[in-house]
Amino acid sequence: MSARTDLTVVLTFDVDGETLWTSRDANSRIGPVMLSQGAYGPLEGVPRILRLLRKHDLRATFFVTGYVVDHYPDRCRDIVAAGHEIAHHTYGHEWPSRVDAQSERRSFVRALQSIERLTGRKPAGYRAPGWELSDSTFGLVREFGIEYTSNMMDGEHPYELTVSGAPTGVIELPCSWVLDDAAFFMYGLTYDPPQFAPSQVYEQWMGEFEGMRAERDGRVYVLTLHPQIIGRASRMAMLDRLVAAMKRRGGVAFSTAGAAAAAARRSGETRTREYDGSRALLQAEGLHTERQ
Ligand SMILES: [Zn+2]
């Protein structure tokens, strides 16, 4: 196999458990069935995912809420024992854009503590639930020494985030709703878009993969999956087929998110983006106001 890497595939699993549902609408009457839908992730989805990763001899990154770390400790230990990376995904899946600064900070710190108890070290990566950030989020990321984030949707290469033009040392691994299982499969009593057939999603994800690979310029293919969503048998069969097909292509490397971010940093990659730069430009033109 050639040493050249045209495309890096990063498999990420957001293990939200029940907090996927409670964070969407904490005030709604969420009953035992919807909560059980969340529990399916750690109970059934994670073991299937670990078997698939073992079969393909791959390491992945699990963004686990602190709640799941504390309430499914055996499952989380299985993830760690298999050599996968555990990263930060808040404590209770609080959406940063929907909670006040104090609550966000409390959740952030509590999740750090849960992960440190599990793995013995601080997580390197952070991903925001709901993929939106508050005015406080990036400050917390920097204050607590997070080394990479995976939230933005403005590119396909790793890049370093800057603030007022100054490098922060934080590497961003951009993602996309196109490469997210929730966009195609997520369904609940109070959230009921159409569900896609696994074959349709295979076509979508393979199309992105082939196109990005053909550009041969060091892109990262960050796939975002949720054990409670992708973990169903039919979808896991599709993921198995997808991973097998990707492995057959030349110039493809699989990596954890942490290793991909570290490699980008080591490579001296000069690509940068200003954190929240678009908002500053829009505000200067009077086209955007402060968030409430
Ligand atoms: Zn999540």
Taking the centre of ligand 1 as the mean of its atom positions, its distance from the CA of residue 34, in whole angstroms, is: 16
pLDDT of the residue at 1: 40
81 SS3 class: helix
Taking the centre of ligand 1 as the mean of its atom positions, its distance from the CA of residue 93, in whole angstroms, is: 6
Amino acid identity for residue 141 in this structure: V
pLDDT of the residue at 291: 62
Taking the centre of ligand 1 as the mean of its atom positions, its distance from the CA of residue 251, in whole angstroms, is: 30
| Residue whose tokens read 């909670």 | 99
The arithmetic mean of pLDDT across residues 72-92, rounded, is: 98
pLDDT tens-digit map of 185-205: 999 888 889 999 999 999 999
Mutual orientation of helices 233-248 and 46-56 as an angle, nearest 10°? 20
Distance CA 103, CA 94 (A): 9
The Cβ of residue 106 has, within 10 Å, a number of other Cβ atoms equal to 15
Taking the centre of ligand 1 as the mean of its atom positions, its distance from the CA of residue 218, in whole angstroms, is: 27
Taking the centre of ligand 1 as the mean of its atom positions, its distance from the CA of residue 15, in whole angstroms, is: 7
Q: What is the pTM of this model?
A: 0.96
pLDDT of the residue at 28: 66
The domains located in the chain, with CATH, are 7-284 (3.20.20.370)
Taking the centre of ligand 1 as the mean of its atom positions, its distance from the CA of residue 21, in whole angstroms, is: 10
The arithmetic mean of pLDDT across residues 65-94, rounded, is: 98
Taking the centre of ligand 1 as the mean of its atom positions, its distance from the CA of residue 291, in whole angstroms, is: 22
Distance CA 97, CA 245 (A): 38
The CA–CA distances, whole Å, from 161 to 23, 69, 112, 136, 164 equal 27, 29, 22, 15, 10
Taking the centre of ligand 1 as the mean of its atom positions, its distance from the CA of residue 132, in whole angstroms, is: 11
Q: Is 131 left (phi over 0), alpha (psi -120 to 50) or beta?
A: left
* pLDDT score of 229 more than 50: yes
pLDDT tens-digit map of 31-61: 899 899 999 999 999 999 999 999 999 999 9
Taking the centre of ligand 1 as the mean of its atom positions, its distance from the CA of residue 285, in whole angstroms, is: 34
pLDDT of the residue at 2: 43
Taking the centre of ligand 1 as the mean of its atom positions, its distance from the CA of residue 4, in whole angstroms, is: 33
Q: Is 248 exposed, middle or buried (0-12, 13-18, 19+ CB in 10 A)?
A: exposed
